[in-house]
Amino acid sequence: MTVKQSLIEKFISLVDQYDRIIIHRHINPDPDAIGSQLGLKAIIENNFPDKTVLTAGKLGKGIEWLGRMDTVERRDYEDALVIVLDTPIFERIDGNDRIQNNALIKIDHHLVVEHFADLEIVEIASSSTAELITKMVINSQGQLILSPQAATYLYAGIVGDTGRFLHSNTSQATFEAVAYLMSHQADNTQINRKMNELSLNELKFQSFAIDQIELFENGVAAMTLKQVDLIQRGITVDGTNAVTNLPGRLKEVLTWVIFIEKEDSHGEYRARIRSKGPNIHQVAIQFNGGGHEMASGANIYDDEEKKDLVDQMIKVNAQFLKDQSK
């Protein structure tokens, strides 16, 4: 899979025209959001040493080990180029209120929801935004050169979004991108070790989370994590990432959802929806969400909606099982 040469040329030409470049990504950042943001910053700095490159947005707890964000002032946006990574919806950009009349580039691997940038480089076949950026470097015919640090950040993004090459978004192109990053001294051991580390509280929380798994018809599983459960066990919302894939390990489970009660919300949930086959993106968009066919997120406002979401998943699975038996 190659990124069109004309898009890479346009990207380089736009970057070339601006002295200051501000890189944004989505709220609730994961390793792909941060890895691609810091990786792209390092690539631009390496190839255009005269430019100022700033990374914008808040860093959640549990991901600080990957790197730091810059302090970005409102006045920095004057005459700056803004690059938005890993975000298909303008509203989900962390710090979007700062972006006014800036020239905008979007680089993303999510299903397209809206067009908001002057240049959009989108490839949903890429496992991650980090994989897509790596392909841009590979296809740039030597115009973009990777430093070992940039390669390490991008490696973290790919490992994060593929669940360590376990998810079905992992392709031949993913491994080619990783091979390229390794040939540029990506520190895979450091990243793998960091991503595998848990605190004692987080490890103990896994057994609590397993007890919360509920099974429904047609291979649906759900887990509800209340704020009080998290607080009592010293777990942050980001710390719940490590339990997201537990229900999917059950043989009989096809799709699953983790409901995480939002802080200070009394009954509003962020839903993490995952699949081993059925397209759950169609369910997520009915509940104020989006993402990918096999991994999406949504917002749930009360217990009734929670039940509705599970019911929709049961329906989607029923259709999937019917189609498979044909």
Q: Smaller CB distance to ligand AMP: residue 52 or 267?
A: 267
Which range, of 63-71, 73-81, 164-172, 285-293, touches ligand AMP by CB under 6 A?
285-293
Dmax (CA) for the chain in angstroms is: 61
Q: What is the dihedral of CA 131, 135, 137, 143, to 10 degrees?
A: -160
Of 21, 105, 132, 298, the residue at the interface with ligand AMP (CB under 6 A) is 298
Kindly tell me the burial class for residue 175, based on how many C-beta atoms sit within 10 Å of its own C-beta (0-12, 13-18, 19 or more). middle
Does 57 interact with ligand AMP (rule: CB under 6 A)? no
Closer by beta carbon to ligand AMP, 81 or else 283: 283
In the complex with ligand AMP, the residue whose CB is nearer, 13 or 288, is 288
Q: Shortest gap between Cβ of 13 and ligand AMP (angstroms)?
A: 29
Question: 132 or 144, CB closer to ligand AMP?
Answer: 132
Q: Which of 98, 167, 272, 306 binds ligand AMP (CB under 6 A)?
A: 272
Residues from 14 through 43 that contact ligand AMP (CB under 6 A): 26, 28, 30
As measured in angstroms, the least distance from the Cβ of 5 to ligand AMP is 27
Q: For ligand AMP, which residue of 292, 306, 312, 313 counts as binding (CB under 6 A)?
A: 292
Cβ atoms within 10 Å, residue 24: 25
Q: Nearest approach, Cβ of 9 to ligand AMP (angstroms)?
A: 28
In this complex, which beta carbon is closest to ligand AMP, that of residue 85 or of residue 177? 85
Instruction: Find, among 154, 150, 153, 196, the residue nearest to 176 by Cα.
Output: 154
Nearest one of 164, 158, 196 to 31, comparing CA atoms: 158
| Cα 271 to chain centroid, rounded | 14
Minimum CB distance to ligand AMP smaller for 147 or for 299: 299
Site for ligand AMP in 91-110 (CB under 6 A): 92, 110
Q: State which residue, 8 or 278, has the beta carbon closest to ligand AMP.
A: 278
- Contact (CB, 8 A) for 281 and 292: yes
60 binds ligand AMP (CB under 6 A): no
Contact footprint for ligand AMP (CB under 6 A):
26, 28, 30, 89, 92, 110, 272, 288-292, 295-299
